[in-house]
Structure 1
Amino acid sequence: MRAISRLDVQSWVRKLVVDKKGASAIRRAYNLMSSIMRAAVDENLISVTPCRRIDLPREAVKPPQWFTVEEAQAILDELEEPWQTMALLAFYTGLRWGELAGLHGHRIDWRRGRLFVVEVNTKSGIKEYPKSSKSRREVPIPEHVLDALARHMRGRDREGVVFTTVTKGRSGRLLDDGNWRTQTWWPAVKRAHYAEPDGTNRPVPHYPPHSMRHTCASWLVQKGVSLYEVQHLLGHESYQTTQRYAHLAPDAHQAVLGAWQRLDSQLIVPEGANSSPATDARRR
């Protein structure tokens, strides 16, 4: 380990790039290497880590996958209770799946229409977010979603987990992410279709449950809610994560379009010159 220099680490990363390894895979490999080296420093095996100021490949930021209102409604129509209520809550609060599956009844403030995100359902069971984490937050609930929650909670333990497996109408075990996707989510998405304005019957995009969270953020940004407010609603640690939705804002390109309109003169294409399918379509 003492023989490994910073240049060795950088050469290793560059070789991975040349070998056409994905940026995400390279970053995961580097993070593992870095953690090992930090542990070696802590154990006094080496004096300083070679994993410093390393140039890593940038990961391409994928645009968030979100559903339209019609697509979301089509999915809800294919879900049975209590999953219909669970998905409705996800669409209107942006909770992560683990936060939905770990929500306790006593975290819902029925009078104020709020819920408090504290617990999360993990592979190891229910855990609390650390107090310093931005993931622990207060989230407003629209009135019609609160009504649906109230109907779901009738006859249930108001202190227990809100969404669990259902056995003969009674609450059961904690939900498992993989089982819920396979047995509940994907069959509903596969069946869901919606009608276009022209009457065409369209299937719903094959997006995972996490897209309900993206959908919540996308709808809010399109309605003019600031990215700062969306960041706190979703519990994003970094503002950069929330910026993925910036292009959906109603005035996202207003400054650019306004600048073109304020120009003293504009470039034009003479009528009939360089006709293109797009130009012809606009003329029609």
Structure 2
Amino acid sequence: MAQKRRHFGRVRKLPSGRYQARYLGPDGQLRPAPETFRTKRDADDWLADKQTELRRGDWHDPDAGKVPFGEYAAAWIKERELTATTRQLYGSLLRHHLEPAFGVVNVAEISPPVVRRWRADKLASGTGPTTVAKAYALLRAVMGTAVADQMIRRNPCTIKGASTVHTPERPTATVQEVYDLADAMQPRYRTLVLMAGFLGLRWGELIGLHRRDIDLDHGAVRVRRAVAELFNGQREIKAPKSAAGKRTVSIPAAIIPDIRDHLERYAEHGADGRVFLGSKGATPRRNHFNRLWRKACSDAGIKGLHFHDLRHTGNTLAASTGASTRELMSRMGHSTARAALIYQHASAERDRLIADALSALVDKGRKTKKKQDPKRKGHAGDTAD
């Protein structure tokens, strides 16, 4: 009796006694199973699964993921619309942290256990948690695109929270400390410190300001650009980090005289003149300014404060005024509410501490009621026996 011909795929018995399954893929190529099977039933079951994938439109070319990760990741970075600083960051993460482990490994061969082992080894070797988190985030993004390209079925980066950068809460300066630091700086940078501390602008946004961006009559600064310093020392003038970064920030009236004095004494002439210049007329560089900053902190007796902490100071002060989340987002240049909510939460916590301190003062200042003697002694109107 003739054997019934199968409708999908083929199974044949090998000289070893094991069974090989093959099927014709939608691309017209004969596709063998990646392994042989102990029984014919096992081979039939595998073919049945493949047939189901084809019917559901869930079929993936098993050879699509046979591309070295290093090659695929390099192309991924090249094809993205990134700022020069982000492109350099991704290139560095790829070269130093991902390629040594995954460079020659096929994309399809990177599994969740392999990723977990890589991350654990990086942390154990002393690589900073922030760097590992950024490298993991890049790996996850690249592998996510591989899923979209139908090279692999699932993203192997499944470690919850591994791409989150946990940074300790940065300190903020008091109003007086901002002025102390401004006074300790070189005079040409005094107003830069005040604007960072009370407007919450970033370094690159401050350095990117031109005269036409400052409207003292209406007390406002228009943020339209930022200066970014690349790893190779070159600088790039770019738009702010997000669309929300292009914004107009109102200036506290208290520092308008300082800004006016700075424009008259130190800023470049003309509407397009740069607001902040070094002593030799060049745009200030961050590494040189940091030396001046550290000296100013030392002279003012302030420890552990970074220049970027002045932005946190300005945002915290703004939150303490009772500004809404939307108002804080607009002032800070954020497109999401996350950062604004953090500052509002910090402000609420501070307000709770203030209330607790007030409560302690109330308790301390309140006169304790004297307990009345239950045996009342004489009262007006009482008569003796």
The alignment's TM-score, normalised by the length of structure 1, stands at 0.72
Cα distance in 1 for residues equivalent to 2:236 and 2:342: 31
- Per-residue CA deviations over 1:84-127 (Å, capped at 9, x if unaligned) read 11111111100001111111111122332111111101112322
| Equivalent residue, structure 2, for 1:144 | 254
Decide whether the 8 Å contact of 2:208 with 2:225 is kept in 1.
yes
| Equivalent residue, structure 1, for 2:360 | none
| Equivalent residue, structure 2, for 1:69 | 175
Q: Tell me how far 1:22 sits from its aligned partner.
A: 4.9
Decide whether the 8 Å contact of 2:225 with 2:237 is kept in 1.
yes
- Per-residue CA deviations over 1:233-271 (Å, capped at 9, x if unaligned) read 1113432223333133377549x98xxxxxxxxxxxxxx
| Equivalent residue, structure 2, for 1:114 | 220
| Equivalent residue, structure 2, for 1:195 | none
Q: Does 1:99 align with 2:205?
A: yes
| Equivalent residue, structure 2, for 1:55 | 160
Is the alpha carbon distance of 1:99 and 1:241 closer, same or farther for their aligned partners in structure 2, counting shifts above 3 Å?
Answer: same
Alignment of 1:19-58 (within 5 A): 22-38=128-144, 40=146, 46-48=151-153, 50-51=155-156, 53-57=158-162
Q: Does 1:248 align with 2:347?
A: yes
Cα distance in 2 for residues equivalent to 1:166 and 1:219: 31
| Equivalent residue, structure 2, for 1:280 | none
Decide whether the 8 Å contact of 2:172 with 2:310 is kept in 1.
yes
Decide whether the 8 Å contact of 1:86 with 1:100 is kept in 2.
yes
Decide whether the 8 Å contact of 1:223 with 1:250 is kept in 2.
no
Kindly provide the amino acid, as one letter, of the partner of residue 188 in structure 1: A
Q: Does 1:87 align with 2:179?
A: no
Is the alpha carbon distance of 1:18 and 1:89 closer, same or farther for their aligned partners in structure 2, counting shifts above 3 Å?
Answer: closer
Kindly provide the amino acid, as one letter, of the partner of residue 111 in structure 1: D
Cα distance in 2 for residues equivalent to 1:69 and 1:219: 9
Cα distance in 2 for residues equivalent to 1:186 and 1:20: 27
Decide whether the 8 Å contact of 1:9 with 1:50 is kept in 2.
no
Q: Tell me how far 1:227 sits from its aligned partner.
A: 4.2
Q: Does 1:189 align with 2:288?
A: no
Decide whether the 8 Å contact of 1:224 with 1:249 is kept in 2.
no
Q: Tell me how far 1:181 sits from its aligned partner.
A: 0.8
Unaligned runs of 5+ in 1: 193-202, 258-284
Decide whether the 8 Å contact of 2:205 with 2:240 is kept in 1.
no
| Equivalent residue, structure 2, for 1:230 | 328
User: Which of residues 226, 230, 238 in structure 2 aligns to 1:127?
Assistant: 238
Q: Tell me how far 1:40 sits from its aligned partner.
A: 4.9
Tell me the SS of whatever aligns to 2:222: strand
Q: Tell me how far 1:65 sits from its aligned partner.
A: 1.2
Tell me the SS of whatever aligns to 1:2: helix
Q: Tell me how far 1:39 sits from its aligned partner.
A: 5.7
Kindly provide the amino acid, as one letter, of the partner of residue 155 in structure 2: P
Decide whether the 8 Å contact of 2:139 with 2:157 is kept in 1.
no
Decide whether the 8 Å contact of 1:85 with 1:148 is kept in 2.
yes
Q: Does 1:160 align with 2:160?
A: no
Decide whether the 8 Å contact of 1:74 with 1:204 is kept in 2.
no
Query: Once the two structures are aligned, what percentage of the paired residues are identical?
Result: 25
Tell me the SS of whatever aligns to 2:237: strand
Tell me the SS of whatever aligns to 2:249: strand
Decide whether the 8 Å contact of 2:110 with 2:156 is kept in 1.
no
Tell me the SS of whatever aligns to 1:82: helix
- Per-residue CA deviations over 1:201-254 (Å, capped at 9, x if unaligned) read xx2223111011111122223333334422321113432223333133377549
Cα distance in 2 for residues equivalent to 1:89 and 1:150: 12
Tell me the SS of whatever aligns to 1:115: strand
Moved more, 204-213 or 229-238: 229-238
Cα distance in 2 for residues equivalent to 1:121 and 1:51: 37
Aligned length: 239
Is the alpha carbon distance of 1:9 and 1:224 closer, same or farther for their aligned partners in structure 2, counting shifts above 3 Å?
Answer: same
Decide whether the 8 Å contact of 2:196 with 2:314 is kept in 1.
yes
Moved more, 117-126 or 18-27: 18-27
Cα distance in 2 for residues equivalent to 1:16 and 1:86: 39
Kindly provide the amino acid, as one letter, of the partner of residue 180 in structure 1: F
- Per-residue CA deviations over 1:21-70 (Å, capped at 9, x if unaligned) read 6542331121232244356567x582446245432345545223111122
> Quick one: higher RCO (CA 8 Å, sep 6+), 1 or 2?
1
Q: Tell me how far 1:148 sits from its aligned partner.
A: 2.0
Decide whether the 8 Å contact of 2:227 with 2:238 is kept in 1.
yes
Cα distance in 2 for residues equivalent to 1:22 and 1:206: 20
| Equivalent residue, structure 1, for 2:111 | 5
Tell me the SS of whatever aligns to 2:221: strand
Decide whether the 8 Å contact of 1:190 with 1:206 is kept in 2.
no
In our comparison, the structure showing a higher alpha carbon Rg is 2
